Chains A and B, each alone.
Chain A
Amino acid sequence: MTITVAHDGHVQDHTAATATGVSPVSKRIVVTYGFWIFLLSDIVMFSALFAAYATLSRATAGGPSGAQLFDQVGVAIETACLLASSFTCGLMSLAIDSRRFGATYLYALLTFALGGAFLALELREFAHMIAIGAAPQRSAFLSAFFALVGCHGLHVAVGLIWLLVMMVQVKIRRFSAAVERRLLCFALFWHALDIVWVWLFTVVYLIGANQ
C-alpha cells in the first residue's frame, strides 16, 4: 500500500485520529469506507429481494403476468432519467471539488429534478397497476415485484430528501470538511442506486417481459 502525505487543516480530524488510537488514515477515507460497507450491505439486502422476485416471477396465480403489465417505453424513460441524474451527480461532485457554489446548486437541482421525474413515473406506473387490479395482494409475483421495485423507489425518495438537506447544509456551512464528506457519501449512494436499477430493469422489465 502506498503512503502519501496529506495536508489536513482541520483540527477535529486530528483529534479524532489521536482519540481512536494510532490510526493514520484521514477521516474522509474512514467515513466513506464505512459508507461503502453500508452500501454493499444494502446491495446484499436487494439481492434477497431479487432472489425472491426471480423465484416468484412465474407465480402469477392466474393474475396478470409481467409481459402483460410492463410498459417498456416508460421503463426506458425512467432509465434515462436515473442515468442522467447519476451523471449530473458526478458533475456536482466535480463542482464541489473545485468549490463552485453556483454549479453545485445547478447540478444538485438537475439531479433532484431527474430523480424526482424518475420517482413520479414509477409512482404513476404503480398507481396504474393498482387501478387495473394488479395490486401487491393479487399474486406472489406482484408482491415480489412491488417489494423489489418499491424498495428501490423508497431509496430514491430518501436520496432526494438527503440531497435537499445537503443543499441546505452547503448554504449554511459552505464546503466544510464534514459537509464535503457527506456529499461524497451522497454521490456514492446515488451511483449505487443506479447500479441496482441496472439490474432491476434487466431482471424485472426486460427478462420478465420475455417470459
Chain B
Amino acid sequence: MTIMQYGHAPGDAGEVSTRSTLIIYMTGLFLAVVLTATSFWVANTSIIWSTGVPLGLSVLAIAQMGIHLVFFLHITTGPDDTNNVLALAFGVLIVILVVAGSLWIMTDLNENMALPAELMDLHMQH
C-alpha cells in the first residue's frame, strides 16, 4: 500500500543516516555549551560596558534558540518545512508583540504616572 506523502514532521531528522544525525546533535550540543558559557561569562565580566550586557545576553539567547531549532528540532529552510517555519514565524511574531508591547506600555505608564519617591514603593506593590 502506498500513500502520497509530502511535508516534513517537525523534529524529524529526515532521510539521513544515524551517523550524520549524531554529528548534528553533537554539533548542536557543542555550540549550545559554548553559547551558554559565553552568556555566563558576559554576565559576570567587568570588561564589557554594563549597559550593553543585557543586549549582549539577548543576542546570545537568540543565537542559542536558533541552534536548538536547527540542530535539535531539525527545523530547516527546505520547501518541505514551509508549514513548520510559517507556524514558528507566527509564534515568534505573537511573542514579540506580547513582550515588547507589554514592556512599552508599562514603561510608558510608569513614566506618566510617576509618584514621589517615597510613594513609589507602595505603588509598585500592586
A residues in contact (CB < 8 Å) with B: 1-9, 11, 13-14, 17, 24-26, 28-29, 31-33, 35-37, 40-41, 43-44, 47-48, 50-52, 54-56, 58-59, 61-62, 72, 76, 79-80, 83, 86-87, 90-91, 93-94, 97-98, 139-140, 184-185, 187-188, 191-192, 194-195, 198-199, 201-203, 206-207, 209-210
Q: A59's contact among B39, B91, B94, B124, by CB below 8 Å, is which?
A: B124
Question: In the assembled complex, how far is the CB of residue B65 from the closest CB belonging to chain A, in whole angstroms?
Answer: 5
Picked from B21, B42, B87, B121, the residue with its CB within 8 Å of the CB of A94 is: B21
What separation, in Å, do the CA atoms of A140 and B120 have in the docked complex?
13
Interface of B, helix, strand, loop or mixed by DSSP: helix
Q: How many A-B residue pairs have CB under 8 A?
A: 186
Minimum CB distance partner of B91 in chain A: A40
Which residues in B have some Cβ–Cβ distance to A below 8 Å? Answer: 1-13, 18, 21-22, 25, 28-29, 32-33, 36, 39-40, 42-44, 50, 53-54, 57-58, 60-61, 64-65, 68-69, 72-73, 79-80, 82-84, 87-88, 90-91, 94-95, 98-99, 101-103, 106, 121, 124-126
Establish whether residues A4 and B9, one from each chain, have CB atoms under 8 Å apart when the complex forms: no
CB-defined contacts of A31 to chain B, threshold 8 Å:
9
